[in-house]
Amino acid sequence: MKAPLEGIRVVDWTIWQQGPYSTALLADLGAEVIKVEERDNGDPGRGLSSAAGSSTKSGGRNFYLESNNRHKKSIAVDLKNPQGREIVYKLVEKSDVFVQNFRKGVAARMGLDYETLRKLNPRLIYGSATGYGPEGPDSGEPSFDYLGQSRSGLLYAACGPRDMPPTYIVGGLADQMGAIMLSHGILTALFARERTGIGQAVDASHLGSMMSLMGLNISSRLINGKEMMRYPRESSFNPLWNHYRCKDDKWICLGMIQGDRVWKDFMKAMGLENLIDDPRFAEMGARGKNARELIKILDEKFATKTRDEWMKILHEGGDFIFTVVNSIADLENDPQVIANDYIVDYEHPIHGKMKLLGATVKLSETPANPYGRAPEHGEHTEQVLTEILGYSWEDVDRLRQSGAI
């Protein structure tokens, strides 16, 4: 069967992560994504070498580039050159989506803003990945992932008690979430266009996307007047909603939010039958008041066996809700990850055998395809010009001589 977005063409004028990952998600679903890069240097993500101790591969290839730009075609164009800008205009006329993630005002100065491009293609979906949204006093301020996490409140939500310093979560979380929300908005706009025939502008920001991610916590504040509690694991109100270290230094997570329902069976499985009717712990309210005492007892008990041993005991002991606490390194060997192709093997044409993050949303009839490499800088310039835009080889040579490509 055809991929769900086969026949949809996306012009991708984005750099770094938030914008590029949004279009990579569209490419996974079958869209043709043409990445417009600055003629001389290209996406600055090609030169990234510090994150996670990565070293830049030959030709400016690295894990960051591969993750954010798989499947795409790359054209290298000087957008300050009128002939280079004309190439993008012609592409827009033949495309469905245009995506950019530059600071407010940059696209307008380059003649690539929504108002300009919609005149060329009224059906165009114009996606913008921004920092703080399209309106307001800070709408023109630059943003990166760290700032998105900070402005949205995540750094405080991720830390422990209120007296702890804010905690930054590595991995570009605001960039990733901003990209996911932007691709969600673009898909929605494409669906609306099928009904109305009308294109529109779509904006997804670091700030708004991270607020969506933390929607329950924010709703608690807005509706109940207070945030959800932050506490160290040693004083969790529900000790059966907590994580514990086992004998082999691996952790197990309990998720039994209805603790009273499983209390007796859980104590039997743990070999703590003497606590079943203990008035300090016999019901949820009492366990909350005496949480530190019970957590200390469970800490000592879990430390007597390995995690695998406890997993077997709990699986056999009752209808309990629990799982392992994985590190990032554990994921590629997790049987659930493997069974669902959340990480897949890939034979990269340059790097050789490697693993990729798979498609984590499953479509039964038109599945997404995570297998694909990032393009070389400007690799498809000639192909796009001649096969899509109808330029002759003489035109291509003329554009090269003028410095447009």
Confidence of residue 159 (pLDDT cuts 50, 70, 90): confident
Q: What is the pLDDT of residues 358-387, one digit of tens each?
A: 999 999 999 999 999 999 999 999 999 999
Query: According to the model, what pLDDT value does residue 61 have?
Result: 62
Determine the Cα angle at 9 with ends 8 and 11, to 5°.
145
How confident is the model over 239-251, as a mean pLDDT?
97
> In this prediction, what percent of the chain has a pLDDT beyond 70?
97
Which residue type is seen at 380? H
Query: According to the model, what pLDDT value does residue 261 have?
Result: 95
List, in order of start, the domains of the chain with CATH numbers: 9-215+363-402 (3.40.50.10540), 233-329 (3.30.1540.10)
Confidence of residue 400 (pLDDT cuts 50, 70, 90): very high
Structure tokens belonging to residue 142: 């630059």
Map tokens 């995506």 to a residue. 99
What is the C-alpha separation between 375 and 390, in angstroms, rounded? 22
Q: What is the pLDDT of residues 69-112, one digit of tens each?
A: 999 999 999 999 999 999 999 999 999 999 999 999 999 999 99
At residue 60, does pLDDT exceed 70? no
Contacts of 367 (CB under 8 A, 6+ apart): 359
What is the C-alpha separation between 138 and 147, in angstroms, rounded? 12
| Strands 200-205 and 241-245, bridge-based pairing | unpaired
Say if residues 289 and 278 touch (Cβ distance below 8 Å). Answer: no
Spatial CA neighbour of 256 closest among 269, 274, 275: 269
pTM value surpassing 0.85: yes
Could you tell me which residue, 48 or 344, shows the higher pLDDT?
A: 344
Query: According to the model, what pLDDT value does residue 352 have?
Result: 87
Please report, for residues 25, 51, 365, 385, the alpha-carbon distance to residue 345 in angstroms, rounded to integers and kept in the order given.
18, 23, 22, 33
Query: According to the model, what pLDDT value does residue 302 have?
Result: 98
DSSP-assigned beta bridge partners for residue 323: 253
Query: Taking the CA of residue 202 as centre, how many other CA atoms within 13 Å lie in the half-sphere pointing to its CB?
Result: 31
At residue 51, does pLDDT exceed 70? no
Query: According to the model, what pLDDT value does residue 48 have?
Result: 77
Confidence of residue 252 (pLDDT cuts 50, 70, 90): very high
At residue 30, does pLDDT exceed 60? yes
Structure tokens belonging to residue 403: 């410095």
Say if residues 375 and 74 touch (Cβ distance below 8 Å). Answer: yes
Say if residues 385 and 395 touch (Cβ distance below 8 Å). Answer: yes
Query: According to the model, what pLDDT value does residue 49 have?
Result: 62
